[in-house]
Structure 1
């Protein structure tokens, strides 16, 4: 039985990791003459290059959001484990209750950090750097989303 529970927890983790990859902010480019001449694939490559250049120059994308996500996940796991153990003890299986509670609490903490108030836009230094890099290449950035 523990093997099946482990597979479920790993599966939930993989899904959450995939969701977090979708949560990244991206610059939105205006389809000016330059953008139309190079196309979306080249524009996407230029965005990646500008983002890497920003990071290598010291501008960090996040402003502590990874730490906040980890903290909320850990707090959620702790609270879930405690409440799950109490519920499990009442039902006769404190260990299993704690395991299910920890997994539920961690999932709640992670999701609330990703989709709640813990999800923040990239720092202004980072977006300004990427915007200028793209502007120097010939693009017009209309915003980030």
Structure 2
């Protein structure tokens, strides 16, 4: 069975997107990060395990107040649209310059839009896992009111 090259490229780009998304979804800059507590008197008194439970309670309290750990945006769609428009127009202009008019122009524009839309969607997916600063401030204030000192997120 012979597979067209576009199916191979689509499969390879899907695997690449999954790998890059996995890499981008952890660490201090990700929305899945947890507060890191400084070992002050409050943490020393209750211990690490209780400190984690208190952090969990504050994160749940923030979510019940309507806050989420990620910023809600339409980054994927916006970047896909930008990519499709940019590369689609560039491909059509390239076809005009090279003397391919009519159907060749349409084919080049459509192919460029597909490639640009895919690239834009990948870019948007990699930028959509942004932490919500209001959520983090809420959690830090909640923990501070309990005597804990948040020194960062990890």
Looking at structure 1, the residues matched to 141 and 23 of structure 2 have their Cα atoms a distance apart, in angstroms, of 29
Which residue pairs with 1:14 in the alignment? Answer: 18
2: CA distance between counterparts of 1:44 and 1:3? 46
**Which residue, 96, 117, 120 being the options, matches 1:105?**
120
Distance in 2 (CA, whole Å) between partners of 1:30 and 1:85 is 55
Separation in 2, partners of 1:11, 1:121: 28
Q: Kindly tell me: are residues 44 and 78 of structure 1, through their superposed partners in 2, closer, same or farther at Cα, counting changes over 3 Å?
A: farther
Shift of the 76–20 alpha-carbon distance from structure 1 to 2, 3 Å rule, reads farther
Pick the structure with greater CA Rg: 2
Give the TM-score, by structure 2 length: 0.60
Residue 55 of structure 2: which of 32, 47, 63 is its match? 47
Q: Note if 1:69 corresponds to 2:75.
A: yes
> Which portions of structure 1, spanning 4 or more consecutive aligned residues, are displaced by more than 4 angstroms?
87-93
Q: Distance in 2 between matches of 1:108 and 1:61?
A: 20
Unaligned 5+ runs, structure 2:
none
Q: Which sections of structure 1, spanning at least 5 residues, go unmatched? A: none
C-alpha distance in structure 2 between counterparts of 1:38 and 1:122, whole Å = 27
CA RMSD, Structure 1 to Structure 2 (Å): 3.7
The answer to whether the 8 Å contact 2:79/2:124 transfers is yes
Q: 1:127 aligns with which of 136, 140, 145?
A: 136
Q: Which has the higher helix share?
A: 1
Separation in structure 1 between the aligned mates of residue 18 and residue 39 of structure 2, nearest angstrom: 35
8 Å contact kept, 1:20–1:114: no
CA contact (8 A) 2:58 2:143 kept: yes
Give the conservation status (yes or no) of the 8 Å contact 1:27–1:141: yes
The 2-side partners of 1:99 and 1:7 are apart by 15
Q: Structure 1, residues 90-124: CA drift from partner, whole Å, max 9, x if none? A: 5976254443332223334455x459xxx56512x
Tell me the residue number matched to 1:58.
Answer: 66
After TM superposition, the score normalised by the length of structure 1 is 0.62
Report the more deviating stretch, 85-94 or 11-20: 85-94
